[in-house]
Amino acid sequence: MSDAPQLPRLIRQFSAFVGVGALATALDYAVFFVGFQLLGLDPVPAALIGYAAGGVLSYMLNRAHVFETARSHRAAIIRFIGVMGVGFLLTGYAMRVFTEGFDLAPLFARILTYGVVLMFNFIAHRFFTFR
C-alpha cells in the first residue's frame, strides 16, 4: 500500500496540532498576564500556572480533535505529562544553545526553539501519548 494517501491526512493532523498549540499558547500567555500584571504574582509561579493551563487545554483539544486513540484518559494523561516535561527541558536546553552557543538574538532563538519543540511534541504525542 502506498504512503501517498496518508500524506494529506498527516498534513491535516499536523495543521490541527499547530492550531491547538496556538490556542494553548494564547491561554498560557493570558493566564501569565493576569497572574503577573493584574494579581501581582511573582513571574515564575505565574508562568508555571500559565504553562499548566495551556497544557490542560492542549491535552483536551489534542485528544478530542487531533489524535484518534483508544488509550484511556489515565494512560494518555500520564504519557502527556511525560512528553510535556521533556518538552519543557528541551525548551530550556534549546534556548541556551541558540542564545549562548550560537549567539542568536533571544527572539529569534525562541522562534527556532518553538519549532524544535513543536516537532518533538507532534512526534511524541502521535507515536507515544495517543497511539
Q: Average pLDDT of the chain? A: 86
For residue 34, pLDDT beyond 90:
yes
Contact indicator for 79, 62 with CB cutoff of 8 Å: no
CA distances to 30, 53, 62, 66, 69 from 73, in Å = 26, 17, 12, 15, 10
Mean pLDDT of 113-119: 85
pLDDT at residue 45, rounded to an integer: 80
Mean pLDDT of 41-69: 86
Q: pLDDT, tens digit, for every residue of 51-60?
A: 889 989 999 9
- Rounded to 10 degrees, the C-alpha dihedral 37/92/77/23 comes to 50
